[in-house]
Structure 1
Amino acid sequence: MQDEELPPFFAEVIPNVTVPRGRDARIPCVIDNLGSYRPAWIKVEDKGILSIHQQVISRNYRISLSTSDNRHFVLHIRNVQESDRGGYMCQINTSPMMSQVGYLDVLVPPDIVVEESSSDVVVREGSNVTLTCKARGYPRPAITWRREDNEPIPLGAWKNGKKTQTLVQTYEGEFLTVTRVSRVHMGAYLCIANNNVPSPVSRRIMLHVHFPPVIWIPLQLVGAPQRANVTLDCHSEAYPPAVNYWAKDNHKIFLDNDKYTLSVRKGGYKAHMQLTVRQLRERDFGTYRCLSENLLGSTEGSVKLYELSPHSRQQQSLDAHQADRHPYGRSSYHDGKYFASEDGFSEDEESQNGIPRQDASLGVSICAGASATLVAAFVPMVLRCAN
């Protein structure tokens, strides 16, 4: 019996093909002993005939056919789209019909669904907030949250009436919920959609946490002699950003002049204010107020600046041994000014030196002499005194 009298058969299994959207797909059908039979390509889902033998029937301009030696029939789909996903049947018009099916899978890179995702969010401190990020793509993208500054995200949960807090670098899921949001949550968050189809995409969402001003005065009681220069410190936190200023008696201090120098260093919702009072005179002593105001409220703190009697040069200086044993920490001299360190003290040191320990809630610094020496400082901030 000769080959042409044998029935046709599929020489190879039609493979399943996976391509990213926009690429070209190639689906082969290999038949032996075809003889006078005519193969056809058919789209399984809608039963649409794409080609018969060597002739393309489909009106889809992206579909073409290549053949060789009456054995290979390759279906080509250019610029593959999601609508092309599905089964493709190579059918031979025998009786009964013979067919094989290969499946085309179309990968779609992730895309953020903007209309279903959060934009920038403003929330009051203490409220609950949920950030939403939706994405489309195939396979379905996974959503990962992280902070833009790479700081960990504080997430809390309630258990037995108590709030527990966990710090996480990333969080998985479409919804990022923060209970009782605080100022530490404020910042830019990135939701990243990834399904391993190049390339991942992200959306930036700013979380603004509004709260009224709070103030921290590190040194509330400062002593210095006349003619010294003194720098007072005040720290504030507020959002929206506050208007910060100093005042003495009923006089607001907004601008530098011959008597005052103002300095403000800002970072995020924090501000560090300094007021330098130069060439102290009797009228300069008294209470200085640090004030902070925004749309949600206002607050103030105060520093009492009092006068010290001048001391002799000998009394002004501390040798290295005395400085090391000073009950309020180690002091250092630089550029004509004395600085207090953050060193703590012990009860033994207190008794050895015979100097009573100051109240930690107050913070006391004393400056004396023409080039004033720092005698005491019980806070982590620096009082600077100089001519």
Structure 2
Amino acid sequence: MAGVSAISAGVLLGLLLTQAVMCEEIPAANPAPEGADTPSSEETSEAALPPATIATQGQLLNVKVGDRLELPCEVENVDSGVVVWRKGAKALSNGPRIFSRSGHLKIEVKGRNYNLVISKARTDDKGQYTCLVEQENAVNITHTVTVTYPPTVDVQPLQDSTEIPKGDSFSVSCITTGEPEPSVTWKLKDELGNSRELPDFAGMRNITVEQLSRADAGEYHCVADNGVGEAVSSSVKIVVTFPPEVSETKSLFLTKVGGDASLQCVFSAYPPGEVQANWYRMDKAVDDAASADGFSKVEVGADERHAIQTDAQGSTITTTLTVRNVEETDLKKYECAIRNDKGAAEHKLELSAHAHPEKVHPAERHKEPQVYGVKMRVKSISPVKQYRIIYREINETHEGDAKEELLAGDEKDVVETENGVKVYERVYIIKNLRPLANYTIKMAAQNDYGWSRDTDMHRFSMEDPTKSAASGLQGGPTGSSMIFCRSNLLLLSNVLLCWLLAHAATHWPARLA
């Protein structure tokens, strides 16, 4: 037994020695340098990662209010850091987590993309947005966002209308918002509803109109446009106040004895206020009450033969004098006058039964020399019996003798009739006038009440009859002159040919002999 135990102990001792030798022969896989700390098993289990980079470039981005905008940020090796979005210095997100409570911002992660999404853009979303990867060496890009939105416009003063006296000045301001900044134009819509641009104020946000006139009254529209949505406008109405003024009023009213006549004056004033209208007849003066032109004013009041009616509508004031059963003593000059608390105005006019010839006009030119045509236009309430034409030659030193022509009236000359007044038109040709001479001409017309006043002088000059011939020669041959020239050329050619044949028959036989 003792022998068996000794053998067993020897076997065990041999096994221990053999294991010790084997352990000494196996080298260490990564021997640590002498004095170095031994790494833990967790630190040596993972390999080091490359740093993150951003593949996207910074951009300038535009978005309309209410639209969606996606700001891109593509990150390579995203696991090496944390993606953070900032607006200016304010942090918006950390990784996929968003800090904003507005509800219209979110982070969309698509593979390597950590994009910031603005679902419905607002005006305060404009600014600089930075995508940042936080790591040992941080990297970032920055996008600049512009939010565009339609223009708004207001004018100052804000009153619906402003009253300004004629001759004064006024200023209007135009306040606009919008991105991009709106351009500004001004339009004026006048009292008749006609609209026109005011190019002198283009691009101006503050305008001033000096020396205000009635034509400056109306609605001033400031129109703002920036290409986003529709252009918008705002307006203020400028009302020009002014005292009574004569408007477009006739100076002559035609009638006939025994009929009724209406004389009318039209004035303008704003505000019209309480208007007082008066009518006066201009009688020839018989005492010291005469005016400077030899007439005295006699007021005409309402009676059996006279009626006065005055109406005001807007800024227009119309006053009408009606004369019933006109007598010859009524055929005179009259004056209408109105007055309100701003001032007064008056206008002179005439009631007449005579014909009224208008200015003499040149008629169509005649090709004949020494001839000139005139066109006469006459208004008359009774038939025109005669036309009288007076013309004479004039020069720098004297006037020639007057020549008078009388033409019989003809109802065939009537071209139109308006309110009982006939309009006559007649053309007269004056012959045997001297070339290069200057002339004056005037005319009058006669009806049942006598001769009218003469028209204003009409002046004309006769041309040189040789001018047209000279210009014709310079301008090239006419058809007839061309035929004449060709005929002469053919005749000369034939004569020359005959002479050559005769010459040859005479001299050549002798030379041959």
Q: What do the CA deviations read for 1:347-366 (whole angstroms, capped 9, x no partner)?
A: 8331xx4x49xxxxxxxxx9
More helix by share: 2
Separation of aligned partners in 2, 1:63 and 1:177: 47
What are the residue-to-residue correspondences of 1:221-260 with 2, within 5 Å?
A: 224-241=255-272, 243=275, 245=277, 247=279, 249=299, 251=301
The one of 175, 181, 190 aligned to 1:134? 175
Separation of aligned partners in 2, 1:128 and 1:342: 49
Q: Which secondary structure does the structure 2 equivalent of 1:122 belong to?
A: strand
RMSD of aligned residue pairs (Cα, Å): 4.3
Matching of residue 349 in structure 1 with residue 391 in structure 2: no
TM-score (norm 2): 0.54
In the TM superposition, residue 333 of structure 1 has moved relative to its aligned partner by 3.7
Q: Which secondary structure does the structure 1 equivalent of 2:91 belong to?
A: strand
Deviates more, 1:136-145 or 1:284-293: 284-293
CA separation of 1:176 and 1:190: change in aligned 2, threshold 3 A: same
Separation of aligned partners in 2, 1:319 and 1:6: 119
| Letter aligned with residue 300 of structure 1 | E
Matching of residue 26 in structure 1 with residue 92 in structure 2: no
In the TM superposition, residue 99 of structure 1 has moved relative to its aligned partner by 0.7
Q: Which residue number corresponds to residue 421 of structure 2?
A: 338
CA separation of 1:170 and 1:33: change in aligned 2, threshold 3 A: same
Q: Which residue number corresponds to residue 105 of structure 2?
A: 63
Paired residues of 2:154 and 2:234 also in contact (CA < 8 A): no
Q: Which residue number corresponds to residue 361 of structure 1?
A: none
What percent of counterpart residues are identical?
A: 21
In the TM superposition, residue 61 of structure 1 has moved relative to its aligned partner by 1.4
Q: Which residue number corresponds to residue 382 of structure 1?
A: none
In the TM superposition, residue 320 of structure 1 has moved relative to its aligned partner by 11
Deviates more, 1:188-197 or 1:240-249: 240-249
What are the residue-to-residue correspondences of 1:276-287 with 2, within 5 Å?
A: 277-281=323-327
Q: Which residue number corresponds to residue 8 of structure 1?
A: 52
CA separation of 1:14 and 1:335: change in aligned 2, threshold 3 A: closer
Q: Which residue number corresponds to residue 89 of structure 1?
A: 130
Paired residues of 2:243 and 2:344 also in contact (CA < 8 A): yes
In the TM superposition, residue 73 of structure 1 has moved relative to its aligned partner by 1.4
CA separation of 1:251 and 1:276: change in aligned 2, threshold 3 A: closer
In the TM superposition, residue 88 of structure 1 has moved relative to its aligned partner by 0.9
Separation of aligned partners in 1, 2:48 and 2:425: 99
CA separation of 1:302 and 1:207: change in aligned 2, threshold 3 A: same
Gaps in structure 1 of 5+ consecutive residues: 154-167, 309-314, 357-365, 380-387
Paired residues of 2:244 and 2:267 also in contact (CA < 8 A): yes
Separation of aligned partners in 2, 1:342 and 1:64: 88
Separation of aligned partners in 1, 2:108 and 2:448: 98
CA separation of 1:35 and 1:271: change in aligned 2, threshold 3 A: same
Paired residues of 2:155 and 2:173 also in contact (CA < 8 A): no
Matching of residue 49 in structure 1 with residue 91 in structure 2: yes
CA separation of 1:294 and 1:286: change in aligned 2, threshold 3 A: same
Q: Which residue number corresponds to residue 342 of structure 2?
A: 296
CA separation of 1:194 and 1:295: change in aligned 2, threshold 3 A: farther
What are the residue-to-residue correspondences of 1:103-118 with 2, within 5 Å?
A: 103-113=144-154
Separation of aligned partners in 2, 1:318 and 1:287: 23
In the TM superposition, residue 367 of structure 1 has moved relative to its aligned partner by 8.0
CA separation of 1:93 and 1:221: change in aligned 2, threshold 3 A: closer
| Letter aligned with residue 347 of structure 2 | G
Separation of aligned partners in 1, 2:451 and 2:320: 18
Q: Which secondary structure does the structure 1 equivalent of 2:92 belong to?
A: strand
Separation of aligned partners in 2, 1:335 and 1:50: 85
In the TM superposition, residue 295 of structure 1 has moved relative to its aligned partner by 3.9
CA separation of 1:205 and 1:347: change in aligned 2, threshold 3 A: farther
Q: Which residue number corresponds to residue 163 of structure 1?
A: none
Separation of aligned partners in 1, 2:162 and 2:175: 16
Paired residues of 1:290 and 1:301 also in contact (CA < 8 A): yes
| Letter aligned with residue 18 of structure 1 | N
CA separation of 1:193 and 1:216: change in aligned 2, threshold 3 A: closer
Q: Which residue number corresponds to residue 184 of structure 2?
A: 143
Q: Which residue number corresponds to residue 318 of structure 1?
A: 384
In the TM superposition, residue 103 of structure 1 has moved relative to its aligned partner by 1.2
Paired residues of 2:185 and 2:201 also in contact (CA < 8 A): yes
Paired residues of 1:39 and 1:52 also in contact (CA < 8 A): yes
CA separation of 1:48 and 1:81: change in aligned 2, threshold 3 A: same
| Letter aligned with residue 348 of structure 1 | T
In the TM superposition, residue 199 of structure 1 has moved relative to its aligned partner by 2.5
In the TM superposition, residue 36 of structure 1 has moved relative to its aligned partner by 4.2
Separation of aligned partners in 2, 1:85 and 1:265: 58
TM-score (norm 1): 0.69
Deviates more, 1:226-235 or 1:180-189: 226-235
Matched positions, count: 329
